[in-house]
Structure 1
Amino acid sequence: MLLSAALAAVAAPLAAVTAHAAVRTPKVLVIGLDGALLGRIKDASAPHLDALMAGGLTAGSRLYAEPLAPTLSGPGWATVLTGVWPDKHLVKDNAFTGHAFAEYPDFLTRAETAKPALSTYAVSSWAPITDTVLSTAVDTRVSTPSAEYDAGTTSRAVAELRDGDRDAVFVHLDNIDHAGHTYGAASSQYRAAIETADAQVGQILAAVTGRSTYASEDWLIMVTADHGHTDTGGHGGNSDPERQTFLIAKGGTIAAGTTRYDIKMPDIAASALAHLGIAIDSAWGLDGRPLQTPVPDAFDTLRPQLAAAVDETGIPAGLTGFTHTPPDGWSVENGAMGAGGMTEWRGWSFTTDEFWTAAERGQQRESNIRARNVFAVADGDEWVDKNHSGTFDSTLVSPAWAVTGGSTAVLRYTTLYRQEAPQRGEVSVSWNGGTPVTVKTYTTDTPSRVEAVTLRVPSGATSARIRFRYTGGNNWFWTVDGVTLSAS
C-alpha cells in the first residue's frame, strides 16, 4: 500500500507534465491565390496544393455578384479577411470608398484586440490589402514592391515563417490573376502561373514545417482565392467561373481527404479566430462560422439525391442540383399548385447555388449569399417559363418540433425574398396540429439575412410545425435555409 501510494504520488505530477507538454501552440497561416480556380489547380501539376487537399479539406464555393458587389479583388479579399459579406463591409470595388472596416475589421486586427500578446504578420503582392484592408493594429504589414512581385512576397513570407515567431500570418500571391487577365483561364500561361504559385506555396509550407518549434505548434493552414476567371480572361461579372472560389485547409481537427459543400468565404476569418482560441462574439456580426464546428442542416442531407436538369436549357448537362423530395420529417404541400411549368421549380424545390443561379443569371439569385449547401426555393419566375396553368401556390412544412407550453421559442432561418405583386410569402406555425397562425409575411424585397422570430408558445402546446407558403405567378422567388426552432 505504501509503495503504491508512493508510485501514485510520483506518477501524478509526471502525468500533469506530460499533458502540459502535449498542448501545442495554435498558429494560423492563410495564403491567398488571387484569381485562382480550383478546377484549374486540380488540372495543373500542383503537388503542394494537391498534398494539402489530400491531407485536409477541400471546399468549392461561390461568391455574390451585382448588385451586391462585382466579382473583383476589393470585395473578395475584404470578405475573406473580415468574415462578413459586402453588404456589411461595404466594399463594392477596388477603390474601397465608403468601406466599413472600423466596424468590421480584418481577422488579424480582431486577434490583436482579443489577445494583444499575439504576433501578426501580412505580406501582399497587391498593396491595397496591406495598405487598406488590414489595419495598423496588425504588427507588421508589408506591401511587396511591384518589381519583386510574388517572388519577393514568397521570400519575405519564408523568412518570417522560418525565423520569426508569428501566431497569425496572411500571404497574398497575385500572378495567377495577372495570367488570367492577360491570357485567360483556359491558357497554358494560366496553368503555368498556377504551377509557379504551387512551388511558392511549397516554399512557404517548408518554412513552416522546418521551424525548430514546429513539433510544439498546431498550424491551421488555409488557401483560398478572391474570385475566379473566365476562359478568355477577366472577372467582375456574374458567370459561374467568375463567382467561383474555394478553401483548401489542413491542420487542427480537420480530417484528411475531407470534402465540404457548406463552406463560405467569410468562414476563413472565423476559423482562424477559433483556432487561435478566440471566442466569436455575436456582437461582431460575423457572417462566417468556424469550419471546425459544422452546423447540421436537414436540407443538406439531400445532396446525394439531387438530379440533373429536366426542362432548364441553360444549366450545364451533367450538373446535378435539384429535387422535390424533402428531407425526413419535412413535407411540401402542392394541392393548390398550378399544373405544368418548369419541372425543376414546380412547388418548393431543394437546390444548390451553382444549379439555381445557372437557371437565369442577373436576376439577383447570386445574392443568396447566406444560404449554404442545399437550400429550399420557391421560384415563380422560373416556373412559368414553360407552358402551365393556374398559379404558384406551394407550402414547405417542417417536422413537428417539441415545445413547452407557456414558454417562448425562437424560429430562425436564412432567407432571400425578391418581391413583385401579387406575390406573397407567409410564415405560420401550427401548434399541436391545429389551425396555422401567421407569424411573419413577406410583401417587399428582403435581402439575404438570418431571421429570428420570437414565438409565444400557447399553454398546453407540446409540438409546433412551421409552414412557409409562397403564392404568386410570373413574379420572383423566396429561399429558405437553416431552419431551427429553439427555446429562447
Structure 2
Amino acid sequence: MDHAGHTYGAASTQYTDAIHTADAQVGRMVAAVQARPTYAAEDWLIMVTADHGHTDAGGHGGSTLAERSTFLIATGPTLTPGSVRYDVKMPDVAASALAHLGIPLDPAWDLDGRPVQQPSPDDFDALRPKLTARTDETGIPAAVLGYTHTPPTGWTVDNSAMGTGGVTEWRGWTFTTDEFWTQAQRDQSRESNVRARGVFAVADGDEWQDKAFTGTFDSTLVSPAWTVTGGSAATLTYTTYYRHEAPQKGEVLVAYDDGTPLTVRTYTADVPSRTETLTLQVPAGARTARIRFRYTGGNNWYWVVDQVRLTQT
C-alpha cells in the first residue's frame, strides 16, 4: 500500500486495489486464528494500523491532516464490535499490546499511550455532541465539527478579564479536538499534543489574535467544587501541553471552600505533552476544592489541559 501511495497517490485506483489486497490477506490471517481448535479458550487481541497517511498526489512527510491521520482497527474480548472511538492515538498500540499480555505499565516508563481496553473518558468528552463548525477560521474544513465554548456540567470559564474581538473560536478557553485545532494553524507543533484524548480544553492566544482585538488574553478554566476531606492530602492529575513565549503564563490554582485561590503550579517555559501529578495538602476543616487553570498572554502560544481529576485515598 505504501508503494502504491508513493507511486500513484492516495486518490488512485492502484492505491484502492492495494488496500483491497491487504484487507483480504488480513482476513485470511484472522480466519486462521479463529479456526484454531483451542480458539474458544484463548484470549486474542488483533490490531491493524498504519504509520501514516498519504496525499492524494502521492507521498507523505508533511503536516497535512491527510498525512498525519491513520487508524486503529482492533478486536478483542473487552472491545465493543462495530464501535467508533475518539480517544485512541497511535502511542496506544504498544500500551494495548503490553496490557493484553498482562505486563503492568510502569509509571516510570512515562509512556504516552494508554490501553484501548481501558477507556478513561472525562467531563470534556461529554461535549462532543455540542461541537460546532468553524466561525472565523478559514483553514479548517467547513464540515468539521470541532469546538464549543460551553463548558461541561459543573465547570465554568471566567472571561471577565478577557480582551474583546479576536478569532471567535479561540476567545478564552475553548473545548476542541485534534482534528479541528491542528488545522487552525499548521507547523506550530499542535500535533505534538499526544496525551490529550477526545475533547480537550485549549487556551490559544496565538490564534485568538489573528483577527482585530482589544486587550489581552486572560481566561480561567474553573472546575466543579469537588468534595475533599480536610486535614489530609489530595492528588491532582491532568495532562498538559504548554508552549511558551513571554509574557505568557499558565497558572494552576486551588481554592478551598471557594476561598482565595492559591497557586500550586506555574508554567513559564515549554512543557511537552505529559501527565502532571500534584500533591495538595487540604486544610483542616475544608470540604470542597475548585481547581483553576488561568492562561494570560498576548500573541504568544498556547496551553492544552485534559483529563483533570482530584482524588483522595
Structure 2 partner of 1:410 = 235
Instruction: Name which of 7, 30, 33 aligns with 1:208.
Output: 33
1:277 matches 2:99: no
1:310 equivalent to 2:135? Answer yes
SS in 2 for 1:219: coil
Q: Secondary structure at the match of 1:396?
A: strand
- 1:409 match: secondary structure: strand
Q: Determine the structure 1 residue equivalent to 2:86.
A: 261
Bigger drift between 236-245 and 323-332 goes to 236-245
For the 8 Å contact 2:112–2:274, the answer to whether it is kept is no
Q: Distance in 1 between matches of 2:225 and 2:45?
A: 40
Residue 218 of structure 1, CA deviation: 2.5
Matches within 5 A, 1:238-253: 238-253=63-78
Which among 171, 182, 193 is matched to residue 346 of structure 1?
171
Structure 2 residue 70 is the aligned partner of structure 1 residue 217: no
Q: 1:372 aligns with which of 197, 209, 228?
A: 197
Instruction: After TM superposition, give the deviation of residue 350 of structure 1 in Å.
Output: 0.2
Instruction: Encode CA deviations 1:446-478: one digit per residue, 9 max, x unaligned.
Output: 111111111111111111000001111111111
TM-score by length of 1: 0.63
What one-letter code is carried by the residue in structure 1 that aligns with 2:128? R
How many Å apart are 1:244 and its aligned residue?
0.7
Aligned twin of 2:210: 385
- Once the two structures are TM-superposed, the CA of residue 284 in structure 1 deviates from its matched residue by 3.1
Name the TM-score, length of structure 2 as normaliser: 0.97
Contact 1:349 1:377 in 2 (8 A): yes
Q: Aligned equivalents of 2:21 and 2:220: distance in 1? A: 52
Where does the alignment leave 5 or more consecutive residues of structure 2 unmatched? none
**Which SS does the other structure have where 2:253 is aligned?**
strand
Q: Mark the runs of 5 or more structure 1 residues left unpaired by the alignment.
A: 1-175
Q: Is the 1:417–1:447 contact (alpha carbons within 8 Å) kept by the matching residues of 2? A: yes
Aligned length: 313
- 1:282 maps to a residue whose letter is P
Q: What is the deviation of 1:270?
A: 2.0
Aligned to 2:247: 422
In 1, distance between residues paired with 2:43 and 2:250? 48
Q: Distance in 2 between matches of 1:259 and 1:469?
A: 33
Larger radius of gyration: 1
User: Is 1:183–1:189's contact at 8 Å kept on the other side of the alignment?
Assistant: yes
Contact 2:235 2:312 in 1 (8 A): yes
Q: CA shift at 1:382, angstroms?
A: 0.5
What RMSD, in angstroms, separates the aligned Cα atoms of the two structures? 1.2
Partner residue in 2 for 1:286:
111
| Equivalent pair of 1:252/1:275 in contact (CA under 8 Å) | no
Correspondence for 2:289: 464
Contact 2:112 2:194 in 1 (8 A): no
* 1:199 aligned to which of 24, 30, 36: 24
The CA distance in 2 between the partners of 1:428 and 1:254, in whole Å, is 38
Q: Is the 8 A contact 1:229 1:242 kept in 2?
A: yes
Higher helix share: 1
> Residues 266-288 of structure 1, C-alpha deviation per residue, up to 9 Å, x if partnerless?
22222222223333332333222
Instruction: Report the CA distance between 1:242 and its aligned residue.
Output: 0.9
> Is 1:330 the counterpart of 2:155 in the alignment?
yes
Q: Which moved more, 1:241-250 or 1:214-223?
A: 214-223
Give how far 1:255 is off.
1.7
Q: Hey, what's the Cα distance between the residues in 1 that align with 2:253 and 2:184?
A: 29
What's the CA shift for 1:305? 0.7
- 1:94-152 per-position Cα deviation (integer Å, ceiling 9, x unaligned): xxxxxxxxxxxxxxxxxxxxxxxxxxxxxxxxxxxxxxxxxxxxxxxxxxxxxxxxxxx
CA distance in 1, matches of 2:102, 2:273: 29
Task: For 2:237 and 2:158, locate their aligned partners in 1 and report how far apart those are by CA, in whole Å.
Answer: 21
Q: Give the match for residue 51 of structure 2.
A: 226
The one of 255, 279, 291 aligned to 1:454: 279
